[in-house]
Amino acid sequence: MQEKLYKLIDFLRENNEYYSKIFDKFRNRDLNWQEIPFLTRDQIYKYGLSGDKKLLSKNLKIGYIFSTGGTTGKPKYIAYTFEEFDLVCFYLAHCYEGIEPSDIVANLFMVGNMWASFISVNKALEKKRCTILPIAGNTEYTLIKSYIQYFKPNCIVGLPTQIMQVLSIDMNFVKKIYYGGEKFLESQINFLKNMGCDFIRSGGYASVDADIIAYQCKDLYYDQHHIFVDHQIVEIIDINTEQVIFEYEKVGEIVVTNLDRYLCPVIRYRTGDLARWIKPKCNCNLPTIELIGRYDDWIRLASYDFYYKDLADALYPYSVSLKVNRSQNVLTVLIKKDKSLKKLDEEEILERLKNSNWQLKEGIENNLITVRVEYVEELPKTNKRVNVIYE
Ligand SMILES: [Zn+2]
């Protein structure tokens, strides 16, 4: 790994305007890794293909250009050589361990718009020699459903939101699901199990800018992933102090260095994803992270940390949104009214919340966090995946 890193640094010193300045500082002394500045989204925007292009290495042929922005907001662009992109697909194929040549696999990742996901997943699936249905999640839902009903794939890969929108309880021929991009909620996992599908595995942990980072072996739990140590250096840093966290169980932001990206290098890139180091129960003997969620779903109130997912899982099967008032330390839980379900009283809700996260429990019991509950006809619409509104 060290060798790969030094080879990359040597290349960037000679061929990359942005990084030659940074690495030149270490020319006459040892490289102190933690002195290398973090790379942020804003910098990729400013110095990458959307900006002055200083981040782009010279003397390499651009194969693909992908957009890494969503459908709204300013797009960022990143470039890969064909060799770099092939390697991403090679690692991605490893994430689909468990897909057999006899499987019929529906690819429901999003296609078009200069996005990388659909293309890379399709190439990875080719390596598994399975039968591929290249449907794409942004095809009209009725059409997706009819393709699924007609070809009866036993495996689906895609984003949880897309998968949940097209699956119905009668599609019991679907036996394997690999998901990416976001997490399944407990309620969605229960639905899939009721449908007869209990093979639900992460299709890998990737960041749109840094590409594939980690995979899930068959013995890991839903959010746990082994690092691809030949491909990425992963650090977890404290959100407040930016110091590297080495101990287990402490949550911080994932920072990655991609050892194989020469054209658009990704060195100490802040992913905005939260995770902690864990000791897995398998025997793979690899560094392992447990993903906690996006920086956006992380809630800190009265110096207690918890996550939207904690509350959503605790109040399953209700659908919930949260309003967070930081100045008064008030957490308002909005619960969508559902006639088919017994209304929970406030005491039971509080009990469930306290059981979902020990920090939230302490905050409530020490009267530092006030919880309010409101039943609403419709949950407020947010443009984020996670329903947390700050007041
Ligand atoms: Zn393992």
According to the model, what pLDDT value does residue 177 have?
97
Range list for CATH 3.40.50.280 in the chain: 97-202
Q: Residue 2: what pLDDT?
A: 85
d(Cα 200, Cα 282) in Å, to the nearest integer? 17
Judged against a pLDDT cut of 50, whether residue 4 lies above it is answered with yes
CATH number of this structure's domain 2-85+205-295: 3.40.50.12780
Q: In what order do the strands lie in the sheet with 288-294?
A: 205-207, 211-215, 224-227, 288-294, 269-278, 252-258, 232-237
The pLDDT, as a whole number, for residue 28 is: 64
Nearest to 13 by CA among 25, 3, 30: 25
In tens, the pLDDT along 303-329 reads 788 888 888 889 988 888 898 887 789
Q: Which residues have their alpha-adjacent CB atom under 5 A from ion ligand 1? A: 217, 282, 284
pLDDT at 208: 80
* CB neighbours of residue 93 within 10 Å: 20
User: Which band of pLDDT confidence, cut at 50, 70 and 90, is reported for residue 379?
Assistant: confident
Place 283 in a pLDDT band, splitting at 50, 70 and 90: very high
* One-letter-per-residue 3-state SS of 222-282: CCEEEECCCCEEEEEECCCCCCECCCCCCCEEEEEEECCCCCCCCCCEEEEEEEEEECCCC
Q: Give residue 213 CA to ligand 1 midpoint distance, Å.
A: 15
Among 3.10.590, 3.40.50, 3.30.70, 3.30.300, name the CATH number for the domain at 302-390: 3.30.300
For position 190, what pLDDT does the model report?
A: 92
Distance 1 CA to ligand 1 centre (A): 20
Residue 385 has pLDDT above 90, yes or no: no
| Beta-carbon contacts of residue 361 (< 8 Å; ≥ 6 apart) | 353, 354, 355
User: 196 in the Ramachandran plot: left (φ > 0), alpha (ψ -120 to 50) or beta?
Assistant: left
pTM of the model: 0.81
The answer to whether the beta carbons of residues 386 and 297 sit under 8 Å apart is yes
Using an 8 Å Cβ cutoff, are 256 and 206 in contact? no
pLDDT over 60 at 353, yes or no:
yes
Of 344 and 16, more confident: 16
Residues β-bridged to residue 252:
275
Residues of the chain with CATH 3.40.50.12780: 2-85+205-295
Assign 73 a pLDDT band (cuts: 50, 70, 90): low
Task: Write out pLDDT tens, residues 125-153.
Answer: 999 999 999 999 999 999 999 999 999 99
Question: pLDDT category, 350, cuts 50, 70, 90?
Answer: very high
Cα 10 to averaged position of ligand 1 atoms, centre (Å): 33
Q: CATH 3.30.300 in the chain: give the residue spans.
A: 302-390
Give distance in angstroms: CA of 283 to centre of ligand 1.
6
Mean pLDDT for 151-159 is: 97
* Residue in 105, 153, 162, 159 with CA at minimum distance from that of residue 128: 105
| Strand 155-158 with 388-390, pairing | unpaired
Q: Is the pLDDT of residue 286 over 90?
A: yes
Average pLDDT over the chain reads 91
CATH assignment of 97-202, among 3.40.50.280, 3.90.420.10, 3.90.550.10, 3.40.50.1100: 3.40.50.280
pLDDT at 75 over 90: no
Å from CA of 279 to ligand 1 middle? 10
Cα 287 to middle of ligand 1, angstroms: 9
Q: Distance (Å, rounded) from C-alpha 383 to C-alpha 362?
A: 31
Place of tokens 């194989």: 260
